[in-house]
Structure 1
Amino acid sequence: MTYTPTSPTSDAIAAVEKLQSLKAAELPIPEPIDGSCYILNGKLIRWEGNILDVESCVCTNEGGEQKRVKLGTIHQIDKATALKLVDSAYDAFDLGRGAWPCTTVAGRIKATENFLYEMIKVREQVVVSLMWEIGKTRKDSENEFDRTVTYIRETINAVRARNNADASFLTAEGHVAQVRRSPLGVVLSMGPFNYPLNETFTTLLPAVIMGNTAVVKLPRHGALCIVPMMKAFATCFPPGVVNMFNGRGVETAGPILETGKLSSLAFIGSSGAANRLRVQHPKPSRMRCTLGLDAKNAAIVLKDADLDIAVSQVLSGSLSFNGQRCTAIKIVFVQKEVAAEFVSKLAEAVDNMKIGLPWESGVALCPLPEVNKVKTLQGFVDDAIDNGAKVVNQNGGLTSETFYFPSVVYPVNASMRLWTEEQFGPIVPVASFSLVEDVISYIAESSYGQQVSVFGQDPRVVGPLCDILVNQVCRVNLNGPCKRGPDVFPFTARKDSAEGTLDIESAIRAFSIRTMVAAPINDLNRKLISAVIAERSSQFLNNDVLF
């Protein structure tokens, strides 16, 4: 039997009833976005095949029935067209001989700056699209756009600094060399629905600015936010450099990989999908992978923790954007001495979160974009209840067509799905523990290894705990939530949670390889290299400094 709350607060009931009774005439529904075009070889081409309606997570009441608001349309290309896109990127790279990989660093920076200039012009349209399609609050939508702009700017600065550092020559053991970073080839970039702009662009733009060509598959939700920038991609970069489409992964991504023409895969999604994708490349050892995958980040609340800080940080860490983040806290372990007090405070804090529509002021909880997500979340909670847990907050499990009020579930144990499975949504599982060693064993034996949050004040406990946890995950957060950023910090993980690192500097390295021109030091080579530099006959061998 599906769990339903028995005594939700009157405010929560009123807010959910409001979501269930919305009328189209009362809503600021944006103008429909026409996503019928894809990018092939520098041109926007209208797809004449299957066109899909894109629907909002926001529903209107039509005759007593909840119906998602239509936001626009998106193309869905077929296998044959997908292969044309990868051919376009492959031809543009031309085994490293193409115009783009041979363009100067200054030229690639200029093209990227031109794109950024055009991107900023459509900020509001992108923000509105994020709010309506995936249910991200205005504040979070604006932050995603602005953070992406900052990331691109910092990437440009980092590429410029890298070029300047590489302008000098190295000498060793009678040899001279100039070492630079060169592109890999064709990159397939696939971003997620929860950060369709940021996590697509934070792999795509570093790949392109380093001289690679790209094929970009738009995410299954959130694709419309990228449509306003497609013209800029087509015009700011040379033909074939950025090719972009929407389509079913099995019909498009798989065949693209099977061509063997990819040198790099940038994918944000599940580890299962990543494993299925990579093996379709006929020579997978030739394809460098940058993967952001599943996670089951834990919070550890020690008995001496400041519980007010712990509650506020767990609240934001687990339920920001409805918990739909790989970095979200997805299970909380609380030492038994303070478990009851912590759970009570957390339940109260969750119940005080404001329900509403993404553009409304102060809203923290919005509708969910994925079809059947509410049913999936109910399944997690029902399984936990069947195995001895309870929903401890009054409003937990209150639902409408696309809305689920967060459930604080306690006490969870190893017999429940919530113990090991990633819920990727607004459920906060809480377990109590006596010995820290038991929590360490849970994290060590987990299939995932991204981050952990530790809440406590005793340096004799926290210090040794850090020493153990850094060998299990890749970021230990002290008295703060699991998160990505600042973007100069390394963002990576172990086990099934990631492959590669995605901070600004690491992304530059991920989509390039160190190459060099070297020579024995003698009169002949002194004259030759000096002449190449003086006559500016090489894009690689030079001592140009960029400002």
Structure 2
Amino acid sequence: MADVKNYLMHINGEWVGDELETKDVTNPATGEVIGTVPNGGESEGAKAVEAAHNAFDSWSNLTAYERSGYLKKLNNLMLEHEDELARMMTLEMGKPMKESRGEVKYAASFLEWFAEEAKRVYGETIPTHAADKRLRVWKKPVGVAAAITPWNFPAAMLTRKMGPALAAGCTFIMKPSGESPLTAVKLMELCEEAGIPKGVVNLVTGSSSKITKAFMGDERVRKITFTGSTEVGKTLIKQSADYVKNVSLELGGHAPLLVLDDADVDIAVKGLMASKFRNAGQTCICANRIYVQDGIYDQFVEKITEAVKGLKVGNPEEDSTDIGPLINQDGLDKVKHHVKDAVEKGAEVHFGGESENNGLYFEPTVLSNANPSMVMMQEETFGPVIPIQKVGSEEEAIKLANDTPFGLAAYVFTENAARGTRVIEQLDYGIVGWNNGAPSAAQAPFGGMKESGLGREGGHEGMDAFVESQYVSMGME
């Protein structure tokens, strides 16, 4: 442990927490401890709330152009430190380096986008119903915002929340996952380098339940923004009731991918590869259930199998690696259970299907003859497994796609514009990729329907979550 760096939290402009017990951060590719963070709790959460509250008035009273300037500086610093951020991300959660570099760019793009959106938070003047009145709507920042983020996108999930919060005039508290907190520490260092005033951005690490208790039990925290499981999201909704907090939730998914018989099979294979194997299948919007119409089913299975055979599993620090490790043993065990269950219920393994001899690796896997009785067709697998089910019609595909409590992302492959439009109109999903396996973009709204969440992040809608409308009726007598 002598060479392991002890990282700290950042509250009110100071690096703190060296007196606390620490939590190890482990490299899932090697099992080695790569750093520690303070195991903070309710007290540290409360201090961060106090700091953010005290900084709110001065930050919110800056002009939009001034707040925009800070975000632009932070965006530039992220791009300048791309390799450093990417390497930290790869070390702490196993994402291949080429994907980590891509995430840094993607994360920075939210800062660039919301730096511009800061200057576009428009109010409005409403036509009056009486000559002696003027009616206006002003936009005000909601207040202190606390963000609770997951391990699988440790940079992008923070900037997608931080960007609009700071742009709107809110102050911000980061609570990253205990699996991958070090990327957040690096981002906090860059916030400090960008000159963001003390207390405007704060970082707390440690017990999620204890720190969240401080957020939920303090009326000064007006905004909770969370990305994670539906189960935790429901708990946060209940906890938010006492103070009627503004809550945004990006929750679990179980994305269907529909390949209709008039699809370009090569485009569909390319789209599925782009969607499924990012971060070894550990993304909320990756395709989990594949429905292929019977006329092209055999051709599709053959081509996707050949494509998957070309993936390289290995050390995520090597640029040639496509598939890195899963995040932890629980994640690996879940994937193994899903595959075992599918095979026992009739799935045919075309490629993969086994965990590697060492560590947390699982082979990229293609299964055909999937059916709704299989656990993986009912639950999100969060691993590099493709289960393919044959369907006889687009109506059957739509029915199966919607047969889930989740509604985050879906994918449709068809070359017929009328058919594509018709199918998408019937899908109950917040995000749809049409002949496209990578739909996310900073300028577009991201979020789900049903039990996949509340609200949207990204695009101009991303600002809505951090502002309040204040209606003013002004007498002119």
TM-score of the superposed pair, with normalisation by structure 2? 0.92
1:53 aligns with 2:16: no
Give me the CA root mean square deviation.
2.3
1:426 aligns with 2:398: no
The letter for the 2-side match of 1:401 is G
Determine the C-alpha separation between the residues in 1 that align with 2:270 and 2:80.
36
Of residues 3, 6, 13, the one that matches 1:42 is 13
Cα drift, residue 507 of structure 1? 1.5
* Conservation of the 8 A alpha-carbon contact between 1:39 and 1:234: no
1:462 aligns with 2:420: yes
Determine the C-alpha separation between the residues in 1 that align with 2:418 and 2:161.
40
Aligned pairs (5 A) from 1:130-529? 130-162=89-121, 166=123, 172-173=128-129, 174=131, 175-176=133-134, 179-234=137-192, 236-283=195-242, 286-393=244-351, 395-399=352-356, 400-459=358-417, 461-469=419-427, 472-481=428-437, 483-485=439-441, 487-521=442-476
Structure 1 residue runs without a partner (length 5+) = 1-30, 60-67, 523-547
* 1:357-383, Cα deviation, whole Å (9 max, x unpaired): 223233211122223322221111111
* Conservation of the 8 A alpha-carbon contact between 2:409 and 2:431: yes
Determine the C-alpha separation between the residues in 2 that align with 1:489 and 1:228.
26
* 1:118-148, Cα deviation, whole Å (9 max, x unpaired): 4444332211101222222222211211222
The letter for the 1-side match of 2:450 is K
Cα drift, residue 196 of structure 1? 0.6
The letter for the 1-side match of 2:58 is A
* Conservation of the 8 A alpha-carbon contact between 2:110 and 2:458: no
The letter for the 2-side match of 1:207 is A
* Conservation of the 8 A alpha-carbon contact between 1:328 and 1:483: no
Distance 1:340 1:231, change over 3 A: closer
Cα drift, residue 274 of structure 1? 0.9
Cα drift, residue 421 of structure 1? 0.1
Percent identity over the alignment is: 23
Determine the C-alpha separation between the residues in 2 that align with 1:124 and 1:33.
19
Determine the C-alpha separation between the residues in 2 that align with 1:377 and 1:231.
36
Q: Secondary structure at the match of 1:372?
A: helix
Partner of 1:69: 32
Cα drift, residue 234 of structure 1? 4.7
The worse-fitting range, judged by mean Cα deviation, of 105-114 and 181-190 is 105-114
Partner of 1:103: 62
Determine the C-alpha separation between the residues in 2 that align with 1:309 and 1:121.
34
The letter for the 2-side match of 1:153 is E
Cα drift, residue 431 of structure 1? 0.7
* 1:205-234, Cα deviation, whole Å (9 max, x unpaired): 211221212221112222111222324435
TM-score of the superposed pair, with normalisation by structure 1? 0.81
* 1:449-506, Cα deviation, whole Å (9 max, x unpaired): 122212223455434323322xx11233222215312x22222210111210112311
Cα drift, residue 265 of structure 1? 0.9
Determine the C-alpha separation between the residues in 1 that align with 2:240 and 2:253.
25
Q: Secondary structure at the match of 2:221?
A: coil
* 1:340-364, Cα deviation, whole Å (9 max, x unpaired): 2211221221112122222323321
Determine the C-alpha separation between the residues in 2 that align with 1:293 and 1:244.
22
Q: Secondary structure at the match of 1:480?
A: coil
Structure 2 residue runs without a partner (length 5+) = none
* 1:157-206, Cα deviation, whole Å (9 max, x unpaired): 121233xx55x866634333554321111211011111110111110221
Q: Secondary structure at the match of 2:28?
A: strand
* Conservation of the 8 A alpha-carbon contact between 1:452 and 1:482: no
Determine the C-alpha separation between the residues in 2 that align with 1:267 and 1:463.
31
The letter for the 1-side match of 2:277 is L
Distance 1:119 1:473, change over 3 A: closer
Cα drift, residue 245 of structure 1? 0.8
The letter for the 2-side match of 1:141 is S
